[in-house]
Amino acid sequence: MSNTEKNKIIGGTLYIVATPIGNLADLSERARKVLGEVDFIAAEDTRVTGLLLSQYGITKPMLMYHDHNKEQKEKEIIKKLQSGLSGALVSDAGTPCISDPGGELVRACIENDVPVTSVPGCCAAITALTLSGFVTGRFAFEGFLTGSQGEKRKRLEEIKLDKRTLIFYESPHRVQKTVALLHEVLGERDVALARELTKLNEQVVHTTLGRAVRFFDEHAPKGEYVLVVAGAKSEQIREEAFFADMTIAEHVTFYMNSGLSKMEAMKAVSRDRGIPKGVVYKEMVE
Ligand code: SAM
């Protein structure tokens, strides 16, 4: 299929369209075409999207689709799509469905056999990750830390020993408090504080969580932030894991008592501790 054919707007299809996260020039040519040619646009905030569309001289029927009306609007959108109209879903900035409304609508489309396709583009999490300098091969997107202080702490406890790079979203009003909590629960680690990405005042501060708390004492947070936190190091995992006070032999016995063969238990211990299997075998035969 040629690109021209692939880019033809198909009736009855929902297009998930990414929009810029600050720099208008980041709206892709394909996104512009889709927004200009679909029959309707479902937008998180029609005023915000209206401003974007006016930059490109696009006028289009729009409807609001946000967290507070999504159940009711889902039915309306699905009905329009089933009648053969094509539609686009956009959020205020970046990729819909990523800490933004859209996930449930995509699920509803799938359940109703309505075709969905994506017009990819900006995502603040990925933009910040690429600028962090941390391991990018494996990462965990955590979005906003929500709920009570206790719930946030519990969520952090669950991922404390995750080796993957961690990505959080945060607003300027809460960023210092969030960084303090990250420091308290995850311990001292490298962090990249990325703000105003793609904008004139883009800034990425490479520091540690402890220093970041003090950094915000002197520099009032400005703009929206992505916090990219380095994953747990093997030493931290060893110090804080359930087996921290066990000898290697006790650790192997623990796994054997839970039903693993001696060989499987030794492999599990080597994986937990991040040490070569040979070291575990040697310990067990001595
Ligand atoms: N769907 C969006 C995406 O694809 O990135 C995210 C929407 S979420 C409601 C908004 C959060 O994304 C902000 O609070 C901030 O954490 C992050 N964000 C969005 N734009 C940003 C930018 N230009 N610089 C830094 N962070 C940004």
β-pair type (14-17, 116-119): parallel
Higher pLDDT, 204 or 242: 204
**2, pLDDT greater than 70:** no
Residue-wise pLDDT tens digits, 162-217: 999 999 999 999 999 999 999 999 999 999 999 999 999 999 999 999 999 999 99
Closest CA to 282 of 245, 249, 235, 242: 249
Mutate to test the pocket of ligand 1, among 16, 19, 21 (most ligand atoms within 8 A of CB): 21
User: Does ligand 1 come within 6 angstroms of the Cβ of 62?
Assistant: no
Q: Please write the tens of the pLDDT for every residue from 36-70.
A: 999 999 999 999 999 999 999 999 999 999 989 98
The residue whose CA is least distant from atom 20 of ligand 1 is 21
Please tell me if the CB atom of residue 99 comes closer than 6 angstroms to any atom of ligand 1. Answer: yes
Confidence band, pLDDT 50/70/90 cuts, at residue 239: confident
CA separation for the pair 65, 44 (Å, rounded): 5
Give me ligand 1 centre to Cα 158, in Å.
Answer: 24
Q: How far apart are CA 57 and CA 55, in angstroms?
A: 6
Name the residue of 146, 169, 170 whose CB sits within 8 Å of the most ligand 1 atoms, as the mutation to test its pocket: 169
Using CA atoms, how far apart are residues 50 and 46, in angstroms rounded to an integer?
A: 6
- DSSP letter string, 13-44: -EEEE-B-SS-GGGS-HHHHHHHHHSSEEEES
Backbone angles phi, psi at 63, to 5 degrees: -135, 150
